């Protein structure tokens, strides 16, 4: 198993990466602002259920195969980018009927969880982390690689839930007025839609540089 100092260094580096907003954080903040704390926290659970997929893939060697195959990596990258663009277009196109109560527009917990899961499974930031960053902390002299990857993955998930949970709590606490104003909610939809489209464009253009890390 990894040394304590290696785990501490990994945890510090992970936190530095996690606090930088990416697609998952944007999704969590958007849902927290639109629907409140519980929606944000359900979104966090969905996002990190998606993280479990990345951990399992890395431990089973699938991530290594993606890293070695330019075609496979490109497919995953563009699928993720397309999903982000789809979320952005849906946000921009959404419009509540006049007089409709905000509660009728809220997504169910199942939908919140599922969308969070998909966002993170197809999240280029998370994929790049497991493809290019995490393997650098493994050490064959400390035992089999797969258990080390699982341990590092658990650290990532725990720290990710703490970081993303903080985003959810803070954004929901500061967004009460936004949730009560139809005009503000529409502006939030437009703003988040533009952000999703931007992230989709970045995801489509990024990724090749990850193989140089």
**What's residue 51's pLDDT?**
93
Number of domains in the chain: 1
User: pLDDT band at residue 213, thresholds of 50, 70 and 90?
Assistant: very low
Q: What is the pLDDT of residues 70-84, one digit of tens each?
A: 676 667 667 766 766
**What's residue 104's pLDDT?**
36
C-beta separation of 125 from 22 below 8 A: yes
Q: Tell me, yes or no, whether 205 lies in a domain.
A: yes
Range scoring the smallest mean pLDDT among 14-18, 124-128, 199-203: 199-203
Q: Tell me, yes or no, whether 10 lies in a domain.
A: no
Q: Tell me, yes or no, whether 112 lies in a domain.
A: yes
Q: Tell me, yes or no, whether 1 lies in a domain.
A: no
- What is the mean predicted confidence (pLDDT) over 27-35? 85
Task: State how far the Cα of 112 lies from the Cα of 44, in Å rounded to an integer.
Answer: 9
Domain region containing 72? 22-212
H-state helical runs in the chain: 4-18, 23-35, 37-60, 62-68, 70-93, 109-121, 124-128, 145-173, 176-180, 182-205
Q: Tell me, yes or no, whether 199 lies in a domain.
A: yes
**What's residue 100's pLDDT?**
43
Say if residue 188's pLDDT is above 70: no
DSSP structural state of residue 99: T
Task: State how far the Cα of 32 lies from the Cα of 28, in Å rounded to an integer.
Answer: 6
**What's residue 97's pLDDT?**
47
Full-model pTM = 0.68
Q: How many beta carbons lie within 10 A of that of residue 173, not counting itself?
A: 12
Q: State percent of the chain over pLDDT 70.
A: 68
Q: Tell me, yes or no, whether 49 lies in a domain.
A: yes
Q: Tell me, yes or no, whether 9 lies in a domain.
A: no
**What's residue 101's pLDDT?**
38
Task: State how far the Cα of 81 lies from the Cα of 203, in Å rounded to an integer.
Answer: 5
User: pLDDT band at residue 47, thresholds of 50, 70 and 90?
Assistant: very high
Q: State percent of the chain over pLDDT 90.
A: 22
**What's residue 45's pLDDT?**
96
């Amino acid at each position: 198993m990894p040394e304590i100092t290696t785990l501490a260094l990994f945890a510090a580096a992970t936190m530095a990466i996690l606090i930088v907003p990416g697609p998952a954080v944007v999704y969590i903040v958007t849902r927290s602002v639109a629907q409140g704390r519980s929606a944000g926290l359900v979104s966090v659970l969905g996002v990190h259920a998606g993280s479990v997929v990345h951990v399992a893939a890395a431990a089973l060697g699938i991530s290594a195969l993606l890293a070695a195959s330019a075609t496979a990596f490109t497919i995953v990258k563009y699928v993720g980018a397309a999903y982000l663009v789809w979320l952005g277009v849906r946000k921009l196109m959404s419009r509540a009927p006049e007089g409709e109560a905000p509660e009728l527009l809220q997504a169910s917990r199942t939908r919140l969880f599922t969308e969070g899961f998909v966002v993170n499974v197809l999240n280029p930031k998370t994929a790049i982390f497991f493809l290019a960053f995490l393997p650098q902390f493994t050490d064959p002299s400390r035992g089999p690689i797969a258990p080390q990857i699982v341990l590092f993955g658990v650290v990532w998930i725990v720290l990710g839930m703490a970081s993303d949970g903080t985003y959810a709590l803070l954004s929901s606490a500061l967004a009460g007025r936004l949730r009560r104003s139809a005009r503000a909610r529409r502006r939030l939809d437009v703003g988040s839609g533009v952000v999703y489209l931007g992230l989709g464009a970045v995801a489509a253009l990024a990724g090749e540089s990850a193989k140089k890390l």
